Amino acid sequence: MKPDPLNDAKILDSWHKNAQPWTRAVRNREIDSRRQVTDAAIVNAVLSRSPASVLDIGCGEGWLARELSAQNIRVTGIDAVAELVEQANNAGGGDFHVLPYEQLAAGDSGLMADLVVCNFSMIGKESCEVLFKVMHSLLHPGGSWVVQTLHPVTSCGELPYADGWRTGSWAGFSSEFTDPAPWYFRTLQSWVDLFNGSGFRLREIREPIHPHTQQPVSVIFIAEPD
């Protein structure tokens, strides 16, 4: 059997290739859904838990850390893409490290925080499931886990509403972007089952709405350990 060309390794390869254009797009606020909805939504979700420290998993070029540090929150960011971590460190606002999810799952990172945030950084399959296994060890007592991801209903398109790999797209982005990353689609029930089956209870499910389309752009899960 041939290996599935849509997999977690392909996601990482794409982000290595697109680190520079992604940094420019984020810092120039070129992405409509982020500018209109999702950036503020994740910041508000994190602030609603009043953490003193945050671990940003999949921190990218560090924009969220900069937003949170402006609120006097101590932020540590990790990402598997060295170029993005370099961009984050150059801009400041947190303590940033190159750390793939697999190394984080080994349990010897020494990282812990009041709140862990994953902002559109759980788009794989195995890499996502690894985080559910290790998350308890990353949270201080009474801590929270906040996840923002694509809303399953509005991101499903014309394909069946069932878990599975989907091809990626840079539609709406500049021509600098190449080789879009695939992503693993999960139904809303599958997300809920992952949290419940991993010893977490969901405190809130938020569905940020685009002001023009009046459709949910994303879904935000706010969870605590049982």
Query: Does residue 215 fall inside a structural domain?
Result: yes
- What pLDDT shows up at residue 223? 98
pLDDT per residue rounded down to tens, the chain (226 residues):
444 667 999 999 999 999 999 999 999 999 999 999 999 999 999 999 999 999 999 999 999 999 999 999 999 999 999 999 999 999 999 999 999 988 898 877 899 999 999 999 999 999 999 999 999 999 999 999 999 999 999 999 999 999 999 999 998 888 999 999 999 999 999 999 999 999 999 999 999 999 999 999 999 999 999 9
- What pLDDT shows up at residue 1? 42
Residue type for position 60:
G
- What pLDDT shows up at residue 4? 64
Domain with 65, as residue range(s), is: 8-225
Query: Does residue 91 fall inside a structural domain?
Result: yes
Q: Which residues of 101-125 are buried (b: 16+ CB within 10 A; e: fewer)?
A: beebbeeebebebbbbbbbbbbbbb
d(CA 144, CA 150): 20
CATH number of the domain that 187 lies in?
3.40.50.150
Beta strands 218-225 and 139-150, pairing class: antiparallel
pTM of the full predicted structure? 0.95
How many structural domains are present in the chain?
1
- What pLDDT shows up at residue 76? 98
Query: Does residue 150 fall inside a structural domain?
Result: yes
Query: Does residue 2 fall inside a structural domain?
Result: no
- What pLDDT shows up at residue 105? 85
- What pLDDT shows up at residue 208? 98
d(CA 184, CA 131): 15
